[in-house]
A and B are shown apart, each in its own frame.
Chain A
Amino acid sequence: DTEVTQTPKHLVMGMTNKKSLKCEQHMGHRAMYWYKQKAKKPPELMFVYSYEKLSINESVPSRFSPECPNSSLLNLHLHALQPEDSALYLCASSHKGGTNEKLFFGSGTQLSVL
């Protein structure tokens, strides 16, 4: 199984809502990532988890709260988002987070904030 599964595929939420994005992989990877991608732009790194510990937070606003319950799961909790947070949110994983590893990406969650 070389898949990274993200749910939901699409999400529409209001600015007062609380929602969560979920990501799952069963490749035994120990590094997991959240990227944000606006239309016609490259993905931008948000968070990196290594061995279930948050290792990188790219100065992301606190309305985005990541969680890694175990080595296979990664969540992104959303609260009080702004319309400009509308984007494609991509989860990825890699073997151990080493610098010469390729990333495996999920298909993403297309988020619209109204």
Chain B
Amino acid sequence: SQQGEEDPQALSIQEGENATMNCSYKTSINNLQWYRQNSGRGLVHLILIRSNEREKHSGRLRVTLDTSKKSSSLLITASRAADTASYFCATVTSGSARQLTFGSGTQLTVLP
């Protein structure tokens, strides 16, 4: 079963706009990670936020984590056509090692 559910399932924006994707999960976590996947390709790790962190930045990416609400958000600022991809959150649940479980994903389309 999926640990994370993402919202929205699909998002279409214009180049230059910001894109926000949300992830909700069910059980306690050690950390939450975000990955990007271009169509038919492998996943690329974007950012990892630990359970004791609330916010993290990496370039144009900003991730927040609210463990009380069991949710995370990924913000991509000043989006580019090259950001078009599927974005997945992934969690490692507390008490289990090496099991990264992916959320349902958000398909982002950035229109030029």
Which residues of chain B come closer than 8 Å to A44, judged between CB atoms? 102
| B63 → chain A closest CB, angstroms | 13
Interface string of A18-55 (1 = CB under 8 A from B): 00000000000001000000001111110010100001
Minimum CB distance partner of B88 in chain A: A42
Is A102 an interface position by the 8 A CB rule? Answer: yes
Minimum CB distance partner of A105 in chain B: B42
Per the bound structure, the CA–CA distance linking A45 and B34 in Å amounts to 16
Q: How large is the interface on B (under 10, 10 to 19, 20 to 34, 35 or more residues)?
A: 20 to 34
A contacts with B: majority SS: strand
Q: Are B48 and A102 in contact (CB under 8 A)?
A: yes
Which residues of chain B come closer than 8 Å to A99, judged between CB atoms? 30-31, 92, 97-98
Which residues of chain A come closer than 8 Å to B105, judged between CB atoms? 41-42
Q: Are B103 and A42 in contact (CB under 8 A)?
A: yes
Q: Are B43 and A55 in contact (CB under 8 A)?
A: no
Q: Are B30 and A4 in contact (CB under 8 A)?
A: no
16 contacts between A and B (CB under 8 A): A4-B42, A31-B98, A40-B107, A42-B105, A43-B88, A44-B102, A45-B101, A48-B99, A92-B43, A97-B97, A99-B30, A105-B35, A106-B42, A107-B41, A108-B41, A108-B42
Other than A42-B103, A108-B42, give 19 A-B pairs with Cβ distance below 8 A. A6-B42, A40-B107, A41-B105, A42-B2, A42-B104, A44-B102, A45-B101, A48-B98, A90-B42, A99-B97, A100-B30, A100-B31, A102-B33, A102-B48, A103-B43, A105-B35, A106-B42, A107-B41, A108-B40
